[in-house]
Structure 1
Amino acid sequence: MLDASTARAAGIQQLTEQLSRALTPADIGRLTATTAAALIGADACAAYSRRDDAEVMESLHTHGWPGDTHQFARIPLHRGRPMSDAVLTGEPVWLEDAGQWRTRYPEMAPLGVSMGHEASAVLPLRVDDRVLGAVVFSFYRPRAFDPADREFLLTVASLCSQALDRARLYAAERDARAVAERERDRMAFLAQAGRLMEAPLSVEERLRQLADLAVTGIADWSAVHLVRGSRVEKVAVAHLDPEKIEFVERLERRYPRDPDARGGAVDVARTGIPVVLPDVPDELLVASAVDATHLALLRELGMRSAIVVPLLVRGRSLGALTLVHAESGRRFTEEDLTFVGQLAAAAALALDNAALYEQQRLVARTLQTALLPSELPDVPGVSCAGRYRPPDPDLTDVYVGGDLYDVHLDEDRERWALTVADVCGKGPQAAALTSLIRHTVHAEVRHGLRPAEVLRRVNAAMLRHHGEARARFATMAHGVMTRDAEGVTVTLVNGGHPPGLVLRGHDVEWIDIPGTLVGVFADLVLPETEVRLGPGDALVLYTDGVTEARGPAGFFGPERLAAVVAGLAGRSADALADGLLAAVTDFQRDRLRDDVALLVVRVER
């Protein structure tokens, strides 16, 4: 039979091996309390942990204490108590009988007596100069702690201290890794949400996809509300289970929400103040229910926790994002507010940008429409067709183009002015210059000027408009069309513009006239040429968005242009214009990088 010393040595070895495998403070407390208590013959044992400089000790494990020990789960540190003294001084407290209890801790002695304890050993769990907690061994009878007892218990405390310190380091590393992984996942989620919100979709579709994304990882339910005028409307709701969504839709049809009702997402959307409900109280469901059946259906949703954040941007709320935990049993906390707030902010910014983008597009379309003729004048025996196509907004900024086509009647002389122009640059400045060109042409044509003189007047107006700056210029093809019994004559002048072409039957003729850019030089070289069009002939004028259109096969180019026009022989002016525009658009796979303007004049047979 082993003597006490040998048994304790074997017990220390066993405890050392067990503690080396323990990963949590609770496991360490349990092993220390049960194994060491048996070896020392203690009737009860308790292990406590202290976090940093906290003023409270938390129970790791209790063994052998009579009655309910819940009241001892957390013990405040107050001097004049055995455990507090051991922790605060870092020195063990040895109490060998009731007399020492009454002498040293008179206020605590009745508690020890009530539990039947006579002797206690309280040992701090100490690593270097840090005290991580304490372990208490209690005995029903007096106990004289001889040097062997004290050495054994101090050894146990030392082993427990080292294991507890190691467990804390492991827990800290595990927690840090979990935090890092959570932050990585959240950043990835925000990036995915950002890409989704920037997708070329309608606002409602973006929000539906955002709600769908939310239920794949951060919530069981999600919903998005938008402020629309005086109302707050739900535009999206999502759950991974389609039957759940159908349940909600049936519930809302049966109990439609009062559009003027307050509370929940409506209040958050209006006030901009987020709400976090770690636990959804049943009282909230009761207050929301119309009747007992409604309340039962609301409870059936199983909402456990919720967070509602406003979609804030530039100091105003666009709506609210609602996330709900239900069947997963997870809970939202105040710590989640930052992440969900970032998600809502990204969504709000994307929505605001989309709204601004749509406003800019509306302004651009309105301004562009104002720069182009609402309709072309009727020319007896001649059909005219103009077309304009802006670039794909996904390939360029939203802007007003600088391309122009126009047919203007000079009523006094029964002649028609034809103009196709391309202003350098885009945006409001180009629009202003385009407007200047159009109105100058209209004004000067009334004076009966020849085409070259009209371009000189336009050139002078542009130079006055820009002063010494020459950053803005234009290319222009301008002509005057007159009628006679056999057809029409067009007197053309070219201000650095792409050459026009004439379609006669199936043959194409280029009208390549030299000429100077408009708006750069004071003196222009502008030779005129006359183009005769008979029945069935067509004149095609266009901007460089046609020939410089770029597709998989390279540039559209003049050769392809001539071939397309020849292939449209015999078509009306409208059909010819539509066919040419379609060819350019298809060549770029419906993704134009530059705006296109073209004008077709065809003499009827």
Structure 2
Amino acid sequence: MTLVDGWPARSGLLDALDTAALLTDAEGRVVAANDLAQRLYGRSDVALAGRQLVPALFGEREQHQMETVLQRVLVGDAWRGLMQLRQADGATHRVELTCSPLRDGEEVYGVAVLLEDIGGQEDTALEAGRLRERLTRLARVTSELATAHTIDAVRQIVITHSADAVGATMAALSLRDPKDPGKLRLVGLTEGNPKDQERYATYPVTDENPAAEAVRTGERIVIVGERELAARYPDAADDRGERSVVCLPLHGATTTIGAIALVFPGIRILDTAELEFFDIFADSCAQAIERIEVQEVADRQSAKLTFLAEAAIELSSSLDYEATLAKVAQLVVPEFADWSTIDLVDDGVLRRLAVAHIDPAKVRLAQELAEKYPPDPDAPTGAWNVMRTGQSEFVPEVTDEVLEMLDLPDEQKQLVRDLQLRSAVTVPLIARGRVLGVMSWIAAESGRLYSEADLALAEDLAKRAAIAIDNAELHSQTLAAAIHLQRAVLPDSMPVVDGMDVASWYRPSGRTEVGGDFYDAIPLRDGRVALFVGDVMGRGVAAAANMAQMRAAVRAYAAADPRPAAVVGALDAMFGLFPTDQLVTLAYLLVDPTTDSLTFTNAGHPPPALLRADGTTEQLPIADGAPLGTVPQERTERSVTFCAGDTVVIFTDGLIERRDEDISTGQQRVLDALPGLAADDLSAALERFGEHLTDPSRNDDVATLAARRLR
């Protein structure tokens, strides 16, 4: 064995092999060769060790292919295949090479090469065995395609595993460009000439090269030798030496979706069975690609539906549309956009409502840029143009040509380049025929390029957002009207009554809609005082309007005849003349200081409570009548004593009702808390009383009215 000084002694194991073997360093220099390799491929007067492997053993036409093999092995890939080698006697022999990387941990520091001469053995059982082995390896690789879940996994199987299995020095995978089916794009290529990556990054299906022809014709292309390659495809011929090429069309369900190219060193005559296996491999590859693409479409559609569902939840979760839209903008990033902005029109000015980016620094930058470069209202493109026309703008790819067409300062154009803005959609927010603002999605550092499907998704989201904005605005206007109406009819303060202290406490619900609780105290000319608390069921403008009508009606009937039965009976008659679906309850009391009496009628309302001057408490009888106008009935009155120091409290059901609790428990809670009203300041005491008893988890208004006899 010949050995270069400095290489480990274990290189001596090469002599134990029954086939020619040698080792090279990372530069392709032979550093060790066993005696059989030296005898077959060296010269008697010159040792193989120390010489460059490629020029020493290969003719000029095979050298480039062998250099390609060594490059692959030195990056960690093993390779096995057939090549023509020059033996010591000058004759050229067909040899099966097995090249494996020599490693020290992760580092590849050389190549181990086994050389088995098979010249003249093509028809022997040995050659048949080698063919079976290659086909077995290819079948194993084909089975890997069934478990591939990404195009990248298919690419790896094609350019690495299949090339290794069949002994190709190069493999390439080209697929039709989904945006331009008349072009092919190079999806994968084994390590090799960088010019190939550039030359075939994208190329027309009409191009004169084997892969393009395989796609055009749908037929397998086989080229044996450099001479045939140059004759059939002059543009594809070069000085890379002797090689054979096989291009396999990828047959999809309706069209040829791409091609696999395999390059073999030297003159390679492929067996019919091997070519048929190649076809099976290509068909399996096409099926895997179409399966993955269908799954990717389904996954994208599912992601979009999930996104729209999440956005719908956000948009319906609150009537604070500014906070809600900010959350929606954040939902878009980074799944569908690198930048997401929402601008609304406010007094003729586009106001930036929300901006989202995965990097908080970029969010601040976007806000600064919006202030530095406000959109031009007269610009023919951009946010204001979308506002004016109500039509979306779609920029599939932001190229230099597109930038030059935009009426932007050079500084702003450069900023677009610096931020790597790649694609953009701007869609209008339209509700009831009115453009409320615009939403923009921008793809940048992700490299994403938007499609028509992305535009449709953005438009769908914009419609939902616009409806949410419009509903919020309408609700705000309705709420403002209801609040104004409620404030107009509820007393700002209680009247001053001679010999009596009167106080009220009202707490609106936690909801944003107003309720129908109403109350008042009416001093009469004869010294009596009418007190009432009512509840119009429902919420919003309708409840507030009915509450206003009811309060006005009670005051009018009390002015005519303040007796409880007369007032409540008149209200029943009014409901009979003017039927309504609105349910109204009312507790009406009449205090007469001259007789120390409290007379009352209850129309379906929670019973008032009394705190006596001696500290005892009692509840007035439970409602002895139905809610107003619900059934024909004769209203009756009841009376109790009401002397100096006594206090009466009237309230709505919001004070005593709690979930999963009997109403009597709440009424008892009122009686237990009544002694707290004995404080000198009845107004402050009533507020503490209400805050203590009200359930904060309930969304219901609470109205309370208290009156204390001073003498």
TM band (smaller chain): 0.7 to 0.9
The number of aligned residues is 565
Q: Identify the residue that residue 530 of structure 2 maps to in structure 1.
A: 417
Q: Identify the residue that residue 702 of structure 2 maps to in structure 1.
A: 596
Q: Identify the residue that residue 257 of structure 1 maps to in structure 2.
A: 374
Indicate which of 338, 350, 363 corresponds to 1:220.
338
Q: SS of the residue aligned with 2:705? A: strand
Residue 523 (structure 1) aligned with residue 633 (structure 2): yes
Q: Identify the residue that residue 572 of structure 1 maps to in structure 2.
A: 681
Any idea what the Cα deviations from partners look like across 1:145-198, whole Å, max 9, x if unmatched?
xxx97xx56444422221111001111222233333333333333333333333
How far apart, in 2, do the equivalents of 1:367 and 1:279 lie?
Answer: 54
Contact 1:549 / 1:594 at 8 angstroms: preserved in 2? no
Cα 1:302/1:591, change in 2 over 3 Å: same
Any idea what the Cα deviations from partners look like across 1:113-140, whole Å, max 9, x if unmatched?
9979xxx9999869899995889999xx
Residue 507 (structure 1) aligned with residue 626 (structure 2): no
Q: Identify the residue that residue 103 of structure 1 maps to in structure 2.
A: none
Indicate which of 425, 430, 436 corresponds to 1:307.
425
Q: Which amino acid aligns with 2:655?
A: V
How far apart, in 1, do the equivalents of 2:338 and 2:235 lie?
Answer: 54
How far apart, in 2, do the equivalents of 1:235 and 1:392 lie?
Answer: 26
How far apart, in 1, do the equivalents of 2:248 and 2:361 lie?
Answer: 58
Cα 1:298/1:533, change in 2 over 3 Å: farther
Residue 327 (structure 1) aligned with residue 445 (structure 2): yes
How far apart, in 2, do the equivalents of 1:514 and 1:82 lie?
Answer: 92
Q: Identify the residue that residue 389 of structure 1 maps to in structure 2.
A: 507
Q: Which amino acid aligns with 2:533?
A: V
The answer to which of 572-581 and 1-10 deviates more is 1-10
Contact 1:25 / 1:164 at 8 angstroms: preserved in 2? no
Contact 1:86 / 1:123 at 8 angstroms: preserved in 2? no
Q: Identify the residue that residue 206 of structure 1 maps to in structure 2.
A: 324
Residue 16 (structure 1) aligned with residue 135 (structure 2): yes
Any idea what the Cα deviations from partners look like across 1:392-450, whole Å, max 9, x if unmatched?
328xxx4642x321223445x45432222234555666555544433332222333452
Cα 1:278/1:423, change in 2 over 3 Å: closer
Q: Which amino acid aligns with 1:475?
A: T
Contact 2:158 / 2:172 at 8 angstroms: preserved in 1? no
Q: Identify the residue that residue 358 of structure 1 maps to in structure 2.
A: 476
Q: Which amino acid aligns with 1:230?
A: G
Higher relative contact order (CA 8 A, sep 6+): 1
Contact 2:183 / 2:203 at 8 angstroms: preserved in 1? no
Contact 2:211 / 2:260 at 8 angstroms: preserved in 1? no
Q: What pairs up with 1:94-173 in 2 under 5 angstroms? A: 152=270, 154-173=272-291
How far apart, in 2, do the equivalents of 1:113 and 1:76 lie?
Answer: 13
Residue 232 (structure 1) aligned with residue 350 (structure 2): yes
Cα 1:321/1:414, change in 2 over 3 Å: same
Any idea what the Cα deviations from partners look like across 1:307-334, whole Å, max 9, x if unmatched?
2222334443332222222233333232
The answer to which of 4-13 and 154-163 deviates more is 4-13
Q: Report the CA distance between 1:564 and its aligned residue.
A: 1.5
How far apart, in 2, do the equivalents of 1:478 and 1:174 lie?
Answer: 75
How far apart, in 2, do the equivalents of 1:418 and 1:324 lie?
Answer: 64
Q: What pairs up with 1:405-444 in 2 under 5 angstroms? A: 405-411=519-525, 413-424=526-537, 431=544, 433-444=546-557
TM-score, with structure 2 as normaliser? 0.65
Residue 477 (structure 1) aligned with residue 587 (structure 2): yes
How far apart, in 2, do the equivalents of 1:502 and 1:399 lie?
Answer: 29
Cα 1:386/1:270, change in 2 over 3 Å: farther
Q: SS of the residue aligned with 2:317? A: coil
Contact 2:656 / 2:663 at 8 angstroms: preserved in 1? no
How far apart, in 2, do the equivalents of 1:312 and 1:451 lie?
Answer: 55
Cα 1:340/1:358, change in 2 over 3 Å: same
Q: Identify the residue that residue 498 of structure 2 maps to in structure 1.
A: 380
Q: SS of the residue aligned with 2:458? A: helix
Q: Which amino acid aligns with 1:532?
A: F
Contact 1:419 / 1:478 at 8 angstroms: preserved in 2? yes
How far apart, in 2, do the equivalents of 1:601 and 1:289 lie?
Answer: 72
How far apart, in 1, do the equivalents of 2:172 and 2:292 lie?
Answer: 26
Cα 1:481/1:282, change in 2 over 3 Å: farther
How far apart, in 2, do the equivalents of 1:128 and 1:324 lie?
Answer: 34
Contact 2:657 / 2:663 at 8 angstroms: preserved in 1? no
Q: Identify the residue that residue 83 of structure 2 maps to in structure 1.
A: none
Q: SS of the residue aligned with 1:190? A: helix
Cα 1:93/1:186, change in 2 over 3 Å: closer
How far apart, in 2, do the equivalents of 1:221 and 1:315 lie?
Answer: 27
Indicate which of 564, 572, 589 corresponds to 1:451.
564
Q: Which amino acid aligns with 1:418?
A: L
Cα 1:166/1:496, change in 2 over 3 Å: closer
- Identity across matched positions, percent: 28
Q: What pairs up with 1:9-88 in 2 under 5 angstroms? A: 9=128, 12-13=131-132, 15-17=134-136, 19=138, 20-21=140-141, 24=154, 73-76=203-206
Q: Report the CA distance between 1:354 and its aligned residue.
A: 2.7
Cα 1:321/1:502, change in 2 over 3 Å: same
Q: Identify the residue that residue 44 of structure 2 maps to in structure 1.
A: none
TM-score, with structure 1 as normaliser? 0.75
Contact 2:676 / 2:685 at 8 angstroms: preserved in 1? no
Contact 2:605 / 2:652 at 8 angstroms: preserved in 1? yes
How far apart, in 1, do the equivalents of 2:365 and 2:176 lie?
Answer: 50
Cα 1:31/1:427, change in 2 over 3 Å: closer
Cα 1:130/1:31, change in 2 over 3 Å: farther
Q: What pairs up with 1:233-248 in 2 under 5 angstroms? A: 233-248=351-366
How far apart, in 1, do the equivalents of 2:605 and 2:498 lie?
Answer: 28
Cα 1:349/1:83, change in 2 over 3 Å: closer
How far apart, in 2, do the equivalents of 1:239 and 1:184 lie?
Answer: 23
Contact 2:610 / 2:619 at 8 angstroms: preserved in 1? yes
Q: Report the CA distance between 1:519 and its aligned residue.
A: 1.3
Q: Report the CA distance between 1:382 and its aligned residue.
A: 2.5
Cα 1:425/1:129, change in 2 over 3 Å: closer
Contact 1:390 / 1:595 at 8 angstroms: preserved in 2? yes
Q: Identify the residue that residue 8 of structure 2 maps to in structure 1.
A: none
Unaligned runs of 5+ in 2: 1-116, 146-153, 239-243
Q: Which amino acid aligns with 1:600?
A: A
Q: Identify the residue that residue 668 of structure 2 maps to in structure 1.
A: 559
Contact 1:231 / 1:259 at 8 angstroms: preserved in 2? no
Contact 1:301 / 1:326 at 8 angstroms: preserved in 2? yes
How far apart, in 1, do the equivalents of 2:285 and 2:321 lie?
Answer: 50
Any idea what the Cα deviations from partners look like across 1:505-556, whole Å, max 9, x if unmatched?
433233327632231343314123154231x432211122222244899876
How far apart, in 2, do the equivalents of 1:204 and 1:226 lie?
Answer: 10
